[in-house]
Amino acid sequence: MSKKVITYSRIVLGKGIQHQFVRPLEQDSQVFVKVNEMVRPETIISSVWRKSGYRTFNLAKMLNTTPEKAANLLERTIGSRVYQGDILARKKEMIGLREKVFRSPLSGVLVDYDKNTARLTIQYLPTEEKMVSGVFGRISDIIPGKEVKVETHANLIFGAITFGVGREGGLMEVGYPDIPLQTDQLSEKCAGKILFGGTKASLDVLYKALSFGAKAIITGGIDYQDYLRLRGSRGRLEDIGLSVLVTEGIGGGQIYQPIYQLLKESEHRHVFFSSGDGSVVIPLPSDANKTFDDKYHSLDYGQIRKFTVLKEGDVVRVVVGEEANEYGRVKTIGDDGLVLVEVNSRQVQYKPTQLEIIQFI
């Protein structure tokens, strides 16, 4: 019997997982769905009205009069709704033969007028922000003022290193899978996208992607010094304006082929970066979301990365040496604890600490 050895393991991919997807609510959000209701990506889950700021105007200067007289020239009462171009105040001149008017430069609400300074305040009309489901699925839970949970089936890609907050966007390939990402591979087309490609991304690449309005980047690796610069006081949850998912870890390496293939197959689809478990969620189409059970994926960041007993047949990634970042399969585990792995058609012995078990769910 081979010796039992334990080494680090990491879940990298889940296919067809019943996933509980969370859409955040605000305290004043109005919810339009019910528990157990089936939804489509375009289904409006909730909406909230946001106040959009205000502008002030000196009415006395506008009409060339004194603050005392300006108060009597207002033609609309405080609290009334006005539209761009509406006359708000009027002043007669030359014994009524000519008049000077002040028209509202914006649509909004008159919220205040100071008689001492003649300062008129107009608040912009509130804007309605609607939140859609974003996925095919079923409403599983509603917590007013906090969140709506949607059960859906999805493919999940887990990162070895992640940064940033939850974001979403269309999936787009950039660069090439076998070389680092370059700044000249980015363009205005990256706006609103979740990008994937390259063996690693430098800080220059990340900042360039951010300047073009990209939402996130999925890549193979990141240099250690860049990792330290990005790791702020909140660790991986630090919001640098762009979320990052690194599949291989520190240094550089091609994105694991099954992951890259899945990304290629899913290009142009709307996907989500989940900061909670450090994953990219790729929702499945409606045909995969007709039935649901009580089993859904729910792993926190710590459960994805743990120590596990190594077994013959396990897929492993080499973390040191000439074959670093290469993948292979365990052939045998010797009584001395050394592990024989087939890598690139070669059989090489490794210590368990030189390997990482690659798991799927």
What pTM was computed for the model? Answer: 0.79
Q: CA-to-CA distance for 158 and 247, rounded, in angstroms? A: 7
Cβ(235)–Cβ(210) below 8 Å = no
Cα Rg of the chain (Å, integer): 29
Report the alpha-carbon angle 171-291-285, nearest 5. 20
Q: CA-to-CA distance for 329 and 357, rounded, in angstroms? A: 10
Cβ(289)–Cβ(136) below 8 Å = yes
- Give me the domains of the chain, ranges plus CATH numbers: 54-125 (2.40.50), 160-277 (3.50.30), 310-360 (2.30.30.30)
Q: Around Cβ 86, how many Cβ atoms within 10 Å?
A: 14
The two three-digit tokens of residue 158, written as one number: 């887990």
Per-residue pLDDT of the chain (361 residues), as tens digits, is 457 899 999 999 989 888 888 888 999 999 999 999 999 999 999 999 988 889 999 999 988 898 888 888 998 999 999 999 999 999 887 665 678 899 999 999 999 999 899 999 999 988 899 999 999 999 999 999 999 999 999 999 999 999 889 999 999 999 999 999 999 999 999 999 999 999 999 999 999 999 999 999 999 999 999 988 887 656 677 788 999 999 998 887 899 999 999 999 999 999 999 887 889 999 999 888 888 776 655 566 567 788 999 999 999 999 988 788 899 999 999 988 899 999 988 999 999 999 999 999 8
Q: CA-to-CA distance for 263 and 172, rounded, in angstroms? A: 9
